[in-house]
Amino acid sequence: MRPSPTAARRSAGGLAVAALLLPLLGAAPAPRAGLQEAFAAASAAYGVPRSVLLGVSYLQSRWDGHGGAASVTGGYGPMHLTDARTALADAPHHSEGAEDPRGDSARPALPPTAVPSRDTELPARLTTLRRAAELTGLGAERLRTDPAANVAGGAALLAAAQRELGAPASGDPARWYGAVARFSGADDSATATAYADEVFAVIRAGERRVTDSGERIALPATPGLAPDTEQVTALGLRTPAADGTECPARVSCEWIPAPYEQFGDGDYGNHDLGGRPGTQRIRTIVVHDTEGRWEGVLDMVQDPAYVSWNYTLRSTDGHIAQHVRAKDVAWHAGNWYTNATSIGLEHEGFLASPDAWYTEAMYRSSARLVRYLADRYGIPLDRQHILGHDNVPGPTAATVPGMHTDPGPYWDWAHYFELLGRPFGPTAEAGAGLVTILPEYAKNRPPFTGCATKGEPCAVHGSGAVRLRTGPGASYPLVRDVGLRPGGEPSTIDVNDIGSRVATGQQYAVAGRDGDWTAIWYLGQKAWFHDPAGAPVAVPARGKVITPREGRASVPVYGRAYPEPSAYPEGVPAQPVSPLPYTLPAGQRYVVGDEVRGAYYYAVTFATDGHRVVTGKDRYYAIQFGHRVAYVKASDVRLSRS
């Protein structure tokens, strides 16, 4: 969504660790040192236990350097040192969709909202790189681009935090809990504690992986480690208002309500009251990125003339704010049918750069929240039910081109579902009729343009996206999307063009195979992707599919599952069941998610006495039709197992 500022941070005195800041002052880590060696060198120089450095770095970046690219909050390198001012200087406005977020033509569109100006003041959690430069004597550019220097900067910050706490430099990781909590940048005790708990959980369990630069990093397990958690009290942080929040126990969560208020000429905002799941089942969770910095985003969701979503997650530490209760309907997805049956999660990212990356702290906090919500409301953990905003269909043909495309091709769906406890993998034998898209994120690096400048190449980056062509070869053109481009213009490799790509976890029916190429049914056409046996980007799957009933040359496709006109009672205007600009031809098959009865939540006034859910007799199947999901009437198709 969009940006603004505020935050405070307290410091305490102490001398015990002052000497630790001297060894590398003005010095630089060896320019070609491997990352494993860089952790060892920084540990020795600053007196921070190596396991603490590795644990903090894992929670920040999973030890990846991202080629010097900034995260969604202007963080750089393995330690996620933040330099938001530099990152913000050239930040474009990502994925600026044109839809009414409420997504319902039965009510006037939301009033236009001015984009807030970018504030000059930044909280301390977004300027840690500057502080690291002061402590180490290393230049800011080097801290951004040299992983070894970045690790040294993180070690210097931890050592400084230990000094500010008045705690001695110690080789015992258990003595560094307070410094780790301070490193989070959180301004409340619950978030700082949750962050430190997560870091020490990583240290206890151990981790190992190959980084995005190809280095093998290992953190041996320390199962008996029991840190001194009382150190957090010395940080003097505020206590968040968590009463009434709908959050899991192991995250930091506070209640910052979105207003249900009238304004202007009888208009109201910024959500609708409801009675879910009693009135309507909650079927999906929608993952967004905010396109704004935490403080500014919170200002927006508290504006009755703006829009709303259920939760916001902070990038640097994974802190969660809840704004709209699950029983109520937030205005977030640009499709009223989706809004009425979903929960929206906004993930902080003021950069608005589609090539920016997301922190491990935010991934983990988000996964805990999604698991909690899925358990509570019976939402399946698969890609038909855990959607990106870029998977939500336009409700009508006219809205398709303006739908949003966040969180984009760099959101790591494979890792996210591992954290959800539902990792993707083969569920059928080789040669099956369905596939799950599953490229290896770090090695899958399709070219994109438009991240910083329209038409210009994006930085090389791991991705969960796979590109589609009209034939089995790289020389064939990209498949076309007649909904995005009614004039028939070709698809592009622009980072926000979803017309010719699929993403990790999505499932499709196989339409053919030719050497190293596999074809799937996609948007009513055969679409091919490179799928060599030595480096496959899809795995065999099983599931239910639909195809047009015999005698039907094609069937219409819809962006919402609304009831038939006869289902509407007096006083509730019937909503059009308008098809999208696609058809599903005979002989093609598409993977099925839910079977649902047509439903419409009538809520167009501030007073709730006239609100009601209209349920029809027509039934629909939710299908994976293109990059986005869609709906077909059950009476038009035949259901079978792949």
d(CA 344, CA 323): 10
- pLDDT at res. 586: 98
Angle at 174 between CA 172 and CA 176, to 5 degrees: 90
Contact 626, 523 (CB under 8 A): yes
pLDDT at residue 6 is higher than 80: no
Question: Per residue in 513-543, pLDDT tens?
Answer: 999 999 999 999 999 999 999 999 999 999 9
Give me 356's structure tokens. Answer: 């920016």
Q: What's the CA gap between 5 and 295, in Å, rounded?
A: 5
pLDDT band of 205, cuts 50, 70, 90: very high
Residue 96 scores a pLDDT above 60? no
Q: DSSP secondary structure string, 39-77?
A: HHHHHHHHT--HHHHHHHHHHHHTT--GGG--BTTSEET
Task: Determine the Cα–Cα distance for residues 521 and 607; give it in Å rounded to an integer.
Answer: 46
Residues listed for the chain: 642
Largest CA distance in the chain: 83
271 in Cβ contact with 308 (< 8 Å): yes
- CATH 1.10.530 boundaries in the chain: 18-83+127-235
Mean of pLDDT values over 41-48: 98
CB-CB contact of 366 with 373 (8 Å): no
Here the tokens at position 116 are: 């807030």
Instruction: Provide the pLDDT for residue 617.
Output: 98
Task: Give the pLDDT of residue 7.
Answer: 30
Report whether 278 contacts 331 (CB < 8 A): no
Give the model's pLDDT for residue 353.
Answer: 66
pLDDT over threshold 90, residue 148: yes
d(CA 422, CA 416): 9
Phi then psi dihedrals of residue 97, to 5 deg: -75, 165
Encoding tokens for residue 178? Answer: 């307070």
Is 220 exposed, middle or buried (CB count within 10 Å of its CB: 0-12, 13-18, 19+)? exposed
Instruction: Please tell me the distance from the alpha carbon of residue 628 to that of residue 137, in angstroms, as a whole number.
Output: 49
Reference 287, options 381, 396, 186; nearest CA is 381
Single-letter amino acid, residue 416: Y
Q: Which residue has the higher pLDDT, 466 or 107?
A: 466
Amino acid at residue number 566: S
CATH topology classification for 18-83+127-235? Lysozyme (1.10.530)
pLDDT digits (tens, 9 = 90+) for 239-275: 988 888 999 988 999 999 999 999 878 789 999 999 9
DSSP 8-state secondary structure symbol assigned to residue 380: -
Q: How distant is the alpha carbon of residue 34 from its chain centre?
A: 30
Residue 349: predicted pLDDT: 76
Q: pLDDT confidence of 215, banded at 50, 70, 90?
A: very high
In the numeric block, which tokens belong to residue 67? Answer: 């080629």
Q: How far apart are CA 311 and CA 181, in angstroms?
A: 23
Sign of the C-alpha dihedral computed for residues 379, 385, 386 and 390 taken in this order: negative
What SS3 state is found at 36?
helix
Question: Helix, strand or coil for residue 490?
Answer: coil
Residues 6+ apart with CB under 8 A from 412: 358, 363, 441, 462, 464, 504
Task: Identify the pLDDT of residue 297.
Answer: 87
Answer whether 46's CB lies under 8 Å from 63's CB.
Answer: no
Q: Which of 100, 110, 78 is nearest to 211 (CA)?
A: 78
Tens-digit pLDDT profile for residues 290-311:
877 788 889 989 999 889 999 9
pLDDT tens, residue by residue, 367-425: 999 999 999 999 999 999 999 999 999 999 999 999 999 999 999 999 999 999 999 99
**What span, in angstroms and rounded, lies between the C-alpha atoms of 396 and 296?**
31
Give residue for tokens 């967004």.
288
Domain with CATH 3.40.80.10 in the chain: 240-421
The answer for residues whose C-beta is within 8 angstroms of residue 509's C-beta and 6 or more apart is 433, 434, 520, 521, 545, 588, 589, 590, 591, 642
Token pair of 212, please? 């995005």
What strands lie across the sheet with 507-514, from one edge to the other? 525-530, 517-522, 507-514, 434-437, 538-541
Residue 85 has pLDDT above 80, yes or no: no
Residue type at position 65: G
Residues of the chain with pLDDT > 70: what percent? 90
Residues 6 or more apart whose Cβ sits within 8 Å of residue 120: none
Bridge partners (DSSP) of residue 633 are 620
Task: State pTM to two decimals.
Answer: 0.92
CB atoms within 10 A of CB 127: 17
Distance between CA atoms of residues 45 and 224, nearest Å: 26
Cα–Cα distance list, 596 to 262, 339, 342, 390, 632 (Å) = 33, 15, 14, 22, 10
Neighbours of 623 (CB within 10 A): 24
- List pLDDT tens digits, range 100-121: 788 888 877 766 554 444 445 7
Q: Which fold does the domain 240-421 belong to in CATH?
A: Lysozyme-like (3.40.80)
Question: What is the C-alpha to C-alpha distance for residues 393 and 94, in angstroms, rounded to an integer?
Answer: 19
CB 182 within 8 A of CB 12: no
How does residue 580 score in pLDDT terms, banded at 50, 70 and 90?
very high
